[in-house]
Amino acid sequence: MNDIHSTGDKNGKAGSFWARLSPLYKKRLLQGIAAYLVLMLCLSAWIYHHAPATREAWDARIPQAIIALPQTGEDIAGNQDPQTTPAQDTGAVTLPAGKTANIALILTDAGLSEAATLNAMQKLPAPVALAFSPYAPRLQALMEQAKGNGRQTILLLPMEPLSYPKDDPGPRALLLRKSDAENSASLHWLLSLGKPDAVMNFMGSRFLGDESGMMKLMEQLKRRSLPFFENPAMAGLQSAATFAHDAGVGYLSADVQIDTVPVPSDIRQQLYQLEKAAESKGYALGVAAPYPASLEIISEWAEGLARRGFTLTTPTEILKTAAANPRTP
């Protein structure tokens, strides 16, 4: 009997608790529960539709967690046999007999991960240049090793982006809010690192458009006979071309960022666009990051370039070709 009365008391208390709530509170509580259920339903639907692409992007970023398989006919065009698929359907360009074109690649962010940098030296053909971060822990040793590997080395110059300080290029960056003396000291420190064959911007969408800051930079590059490669993917719409021309500094802007979306299908498509640019102008410059997927696909792609009429060469050779064949605006 005591147990029965005890249970009845609990139920009564629960009932009285709900009864004591005001109608407005009950309404808001029920609305909150309903909103939560709707949110969970929408989230479940989003995950269902986007999970494959999200997983593929994650896999492309995880070092040593990707097994790069050779591109098959199914990868290229459904169930077609790659031996019978026309060249234009495989995402590859074959130049007409007698026509040639030069392609160069720069791998950025070298040195930040020593393992990734050494992996790139092992996997990629020697003409692929390495662009080193000035913040790399063993910068000079790795630059010397890259040179011993037969590669050109490029130093990344961190510059102020439009999104600064949300996106911070680091403590030694060239910033418009710094004094001329501070930027001069940063630039002197940056250019004293190793002995690069060229420099390239890291970020810089704001700084690259500043005439005063850029002309001071170009004067220093001119003294050191260092060309400037611009990565438009990092810099937005600004361009250093005019400043480089006025200072007499060698300049070339990259045509394609290979792995903005580091997924195998997108990387192959961007390499195809790089080939199209080279086919059109006779030369093209691409930029890539040291993602495992990028290294595997670029290595595979480079093996077939020569038989399709392309020559993989160094960035400075592309610069000479571009200077001899200036682009029309």
Supply the pTM of this predicted model: 0.71
**Are the CB atoms for 274 and 284 separated by under 8 Å?**
yes
DSSP 282: S
In terms of Cα–Cα distance, which of 178, 242, 181, 180 is closest to 209? 242
Pick from 259, 252, 270, 273: which is nearest to 317 by CA? 252
User: What's residue 95's pLDDT?
Assistant: 64
**99-324: CATH topology:** TIM Barrel (3.20.20)
The per-residue pLDDT for 18 is: 65
Domain boundaries, the chain: 2-60, 99-324
Q: What is the tens place of the pLDDT at every residue in 118-131?
A: 999 999 999 999 99
**DSSP codes, 239-279:** --HHHHHHHT--EEE-SEETTSS-SHHHHHHHHHHHHHHHH
Over the stretch 185-231, which tens digit does the pLDDT of each residue have?
999 999 999 899 999 999 999 999 999 999 999 999 999 999 999 99
Residues paired with 103 in a beta bridge: 284, 312
The per-residue pLDDT for range 66-83, each reduced to its tens digit, is 333 333 332 333 333 333
Percentage of the chain surpassing pLDDT 70?
A: 76
Measured on CA atoms in the order 160, 163, 164, 168, is the torsion positive or negative?
Answer: negative
